Structure 1
């Protein structure tokens, strides 16, 4: 029995190792290609670079609109996440603590939003943005990202709030603390792992999004970094050195944020899964 268990552990570890290698290879391929010229990449795509070729990075920073595209991506991501954190936890708190028929109805309504693919309401959404004069502005994608994250965010926060004792809130209320103060001073700090999970998942989605900025932001002007990288992919020729250099630059901020929030992210996912 012990030998069988030992063999099963080795098998699971081996499969996990193979899957990790498969998922890591595109990142590895991107990193080694970022420091190669376009000619080197076309000659032998999987070979190591002969030297640190940095002209692609220099050209992107000094001769293109890529720095402004990175700034646009940062603005979209930062503002969207800030407003998500300000709005969604309060909505989830009201739903979880009120626990009435109409709040349960609102919760189900939010969950329905998770079941509708974006492509179904994409065209009406673009027309609506034009009607309210948000088409072609950074505020347009921000509003869409916030509203699109409500369903997932409310589900995540309500699952986590079930583990927060009500006695803490009752004690604060006896001491004269207002409902707003109870939430922001007592409850919200306890939602740190959940908030970290929200920041990582939604932030990655916004930072790497291609379709929404491509549709909403005007053509002929700097967009987000993913869209700017796409312009180097041509029908007959492609500047692979620019593409890999741009994607490498886009990975660095994401990796830094994930490493900073990794502990809270894993804790938030595990706790939410157990309580949900």
Structure 2
């Protein structure tokens, strides 16, 4: 009994330390977003002398927050919806057609996870330039489809293995086609796993910096991360504008995570454990 209580206490302590390590940088960023630049540099860990919103007003105007948030939202929704649809359809097909070709195809998809992004940056830029898709949101969306497809396929394929095949057989007897069965029977049953893929990829695309940096080189299609990066130069770092901009950009995604964290964890467990 004492050993169980001790292990519980140690587990709680480790969880508390992990939560503190996660929350501390966010708190420092939020706290410094109310300070002037000289106070941020002089005492980054101290509380602001006055909680004023002048920095937030400046960040809203300098970075054009509505425009960059709109670009980021379009990029994230387009990328995540495409990844989800393609990976779900591919995982369903590969599990319902277990041939040697589908197994080879699935293994190749999984091996693509091992390819680091830095090795494909230059070829990616050349291909996008050849297709006239560089400096376009659609070109960046296509890139996210290709990079995020393998991980989503891995999670959703595990969820497809748990689907009762008898429901699909009954639908086939009633005369339903494959497309109808997929969208009206299989896809709703995959909702927990698909929801987790949607949320995790949304976090990834929303906070990603590398792909927009490589493919989006103009302010018209600038995302939040690119706009913040332009505040830092060789001779000047505008922390008093960058920190409130980051705080405003992170707020929607943090609220979504806090409200839907149970469904996210449940979807991951449904896709990873049951498979």
TM-score scaled by length of structure 2: 0.95
Gaps of 5+ in 2: none
Residue equivalent to 1:33: 32
Residue equivalent to 2:140: 141
Deviation, 1:222, is: 5.0
Aligned-pair Cα RMSD in Å: 1.5
Deviation, 1:66, is: 3.5
Secondary structure at the aligned position of 2:78 is classed as helix
Taking the aligned partners of 1:169 and 1:219, their CA distance within structure 2 comes to 49
Residue equivalent to 2:100: 101
Deviation, 1:264, is: 1.9
Deviation, 1:267, is: 0.6
**What is the CA deviation profile of residues 40-94 of structure 1, one whole-angstrom value per residue up to 9, with x for unaligned ones?**
2223211222232212221222344333221111110011112222222111100
Count of residue correspondences: 275
Secondary structure at the aligned position of 1:268 is classed as helix
How has the CA–CA distance of structure 1 residues 235 and 45 changed in structure 2, closer, same or farther, with 3 Å as cutoff? Answer: same
Residue equivalent to 2:171: 172
Residue equivalent to 1:77: 76
| TM alignment of 1:65-214, pairs within 5 A | 65-214=64-213
Taking the aligned partners of 2:91 and 2:99, their CA distance within structure 1 comes to 13
Deviation, 1:221, is: 4.5
Structure 1 stretches of 4+ with a deviation exceeding 4 A read none
Taking the aligned partners of 2:106 and 2:118, their CA distance within structure 1 comes to 23
Deviation, 1:220, is: 5.3
Deviation, 1:237, is: 3.0
Residue equivalent to 1:259: 258
Gaps of 5+ in 1: none
TM-score scaled by length of structure 1: 0.94
Taking the aligned partners of 1:14 and 1:240, their CA distance within structure 2 comes to 34
